[in-house]
Structure 1
Amino acid sequence: MTETKQPLDGQIAWVTGGGSGIGLAGAIDLAKAGCHVVISGREAAKLDAAIAEAEAKGAPRGRITAMALDVGDRPAVDAVAAAIEAQHGGVDILVNSAGVNFPKRFWSETDGDTFAKVININLNGATFCTLAVLKGMQARRRGTVINIASFAGWHQSYLTGPAYVASKAGLTAMTHNFNIEQCVHGLRATAVCPGEVATPILKKRPVEPSAEDKALMLQEEDMGRTIRFIAEMPPHVCINELVIAPVHNRIYIGGSELQRR
Structure 2
Amino acid sequence: MARLTGKVAWVTGAGTGIGEAAALALADEGATVILTGRRREPLEQVADRISQTGSAHVQPADLTDKAQVRKVGAYIKATFDRLDILVNNAGVNIVDRHWDKLTPDSIDTMVQGNLTAALYCVTVALPFMRARKDGLLIHTASMAGRFIGNLSGPIYTVAKHGIVAMSHGLNMQECVHGIRSTVFLPGEVATPILDKRPNPVGPEERARMVQPADCGDLIRYIACMPRHLVMNEVHLTPTHNRGYIAALQRQL
Class of the TM-score when normalised by the shorter of the 2 chains: over 0.9
Number of residue pairs aligned between Structure 1 and Structure 2: 247
For 1:88, the equivalent position in structure 2 comes to: 80
State the shift of 1:63 in Å. Answer: 1.4
Does residue 18 (structure 1) correspond to residue 14 (structure 2)? The answer is yes
Does residue 42 (structure 1) correspond to residue 33 (structure 2)? The answer is no
> For residues 52 and 211 of structure 2, what CA distance do their matches in structure 1 show?
22
Does residue 127 (structure 1) correspond to residue 123 (structure 2)? The answer is no
Does residue 219 (structure 1) correspond to residue 215 (structure 2)? The answer is no
| Contact map agreement 2:190 2:209 (CA 8 A) in 1 | yes
Q: Deviations over 1:58-100 (max 9, x none)?
A: x644512210011101111011111112101221000011000
| Contact map agreement 2:129 2:179 (CA 8 A) in 1 | yes
What is the identity, as a one-letter code, of the residue corresponding to 1:38?
Answer: I
Aligned residue runs from structure 1 range 1-261, under 5 A: 7-52=3-48, 54-55=49-50, 60-254=52-246
Q: Deviations over 1:33-67 (max 9, x none)?
A: 01000110011122112323x34xxx644512210
Gaps of 5+ in 2: 248-252
Task: Say what the alpha-carbon RMSD is for the aligned residues.
Answer: 1.6
| Contact map agreement 2:27 2:54 (CA 8 A) in 1 | no
> For residues 74 and 28 of structure 1, what CA distance do their matches in structure 2 show?
26
| Contact map agreement 2:30 2:54 (CA 8 A) in 1 | no
What is the identity, as a one-letter code, of the residue corresponding to 2:153?
Answer: G
Q: Which runs of at least 4 in structure 1 moved beyond 2 Å after TM superposition?
A: 49-52, 59-62, 251-255
| Contact map agreement 2:93 2:196 (CA 8 A) in 1 | yes
> For residues 226 and 9 of structure 1, what CA distance do their matches in structure 2 show?
18
> For residues 239 and 189 of structure 1, what CA distance do their matches in structure 2 show?
8
User: Percent identity at matched positions?
Assistant: 42
Gaps of 5+ in 1: 1-5, 256-261
| Contact map agreement 1:31 1:60 (CA 8 A) in 2 | no
For 2:250, the equivalent position in structure 1 comes to: none
Q: Deviations over 1:4-54 (max 9, x none)?
A: xx93111000000001000000000000001000110011122112323x3
Normalising by structure 2, report the TM-score. 0.94
> For residues 158 and 252 of structure 1, what CA distance do their matches in structure 2 show?
14
> For residues 135 and 113 of structure 1, what CA distance do their matches in structure 2 show?
32
> For residues 158 and 15 of structure 1, what CA distance do their matches in structure 2 show?
29
For 1:259, the equivalent position in structure 2 comes to: none
Secondary structure of 1:105's match? coil
